[in-house]
A and B are shown apart, each in its own frame.
Chain A
Amino acid sequence: MYLKELTELDGVSGNEQQVREFISDKIKDKVDELKVDVLGNLIAYRKGTKGGRKIVLAAHMDEVGFMVTNIEDDGTLAFAPVGGVETQVMVGKIVRINGQTLGAIGYKAIHIQDKEQILKPLSIDQLRVYIGAKSKEEAARQVKIGDYVAFTTTFDQENNRLTGKAFDDRAGCSVLMDIIDKIDRYEDDVYFAFLVQEEVGLRGSAVVVEQIHPDIAIVIEGTTAGDDPELPEYQWATHLGDGPAITFMHRGYVVNKRVYESIIEVAEKYSIAHQAKRRTAGGTDAARFARTGAGTAAAVVSVPSRYIHSPVSMIDLNDYNNTVLLLQKILEQGEAFAR
């Protein structure tokens, strides 16, 4: 498992190089081919023993974060979200700009807000990043407009739970790396695609189908949970500890029935805990694979994750391990899978 290293790297959409370099370095000697495409996707290939079909396993390297959009006269930085980040999770956090400069996102003290301000959610134009600079000139010596901004949360593991930033989708990246570490060759050719720019509109995945022409693509995600005391149980998307979540439909795509059912068959055959993802909000690269080129039979398997798109999310270790196991068993089925 590579989650500590992976989640402590900064890789906001469009700025994935730290993550790409880390993964590339770890897997380069374990695969038959490795390349970086025009958009920055890292694609690894392991030849099958029969080589009749091509299966893509995909995870995205990028995370949500921010971009510096202006340097103000007082030396603070205006910023805009890259991907979906709610304003409420931004305040009171330390962020890292351009992989090095630290800054704080604060807000004026409760003592000097009027009653209306206290009760009103903040909009991003009320927030700035403070880097300790007192003028535009001083700030401009360290940062520039267009610099990427990431949260700085460190990884932790305790009580069978893992906490940190960017489990969406470093969890998927780590699952793929764990599968690569198992040196098995399978009947099918397997492509491991580490994608860029998922959080800004499923962009990296758009150029993958044309490079591979896969028969099947399975996207591995860190997905929403919502299993907390503020949501009634019927609104939960997934529940931590109940196993990998298998998606039947999400925004813009009804999952290929043959692949979806085959995944469940494998899970049941090997008694691997699994659950349906019970909400259809949010999309994944599976939608892009399905509608690109001549189309691909695509599916989604996810590690349930609480508090995603915030500075600190949480997954269950058993769910993670069962996701690795399920995908490994899927590959072991060889040509029998999704026939």
Chain B
Amino acid sequence: MKKVLVANRGEIAVRIIRACRQLGIETVAVYSDVDRDSLHVQLADEAFCIGSKDLKDSYLNMNNILVAVGLSQADAVHPGFGFLSENPEFARLCEQVGVKFIGPSASVIEKMGDKSVARETMIAAGVPVVPGSDGLIESATDGKEVAKKLGYPVLVKAAAGGGGRGMRVIQAEEEFELHFQAAKQEADLAFGDGRMYFSGGRQGSFCCEL
């Protein structure tokens, strides 16, 4: 690996560029036109403006990022977190154009990144999972039915989600429609995927990330 393209912005892009440089790997930054003065652009060996400030035109645009990969002849892509980091299609496209995606394979991202499939996988492996719906919430009406069975408050989350985006705690049935749609829209905007599922939020619990 001689050259890594960092498909992200902000603090994590800087963190990755630093790590690459310390290992003697060259770095390529990509940025939207409003990010010209960003630190990641300043610190990378090369930088390519890939689109406008709109996420779908720049940091979420797989096509434009892969063009920058081609122009810079980078041999690997680090997706950071957020944006395309958990997008199996992007990982697959990277594999197809012969550039290393720094992360798990597209099929594993698909399996674990889809939160409802991940739950099923963990149940099969005997890992205890939070009580919740065993699949996707197809509509707000279906969701309300399941929420009634689970008991409020319920936690709805984006199947493609992460980092708190597309996630809402719903306290009562009257609020369900409003919060569900808001979370769904947020997920759609942030990940281009508005599929939702339930994740049980228990009163008085700790969150533990390993």
Determine if chain A interacts with chain B: no
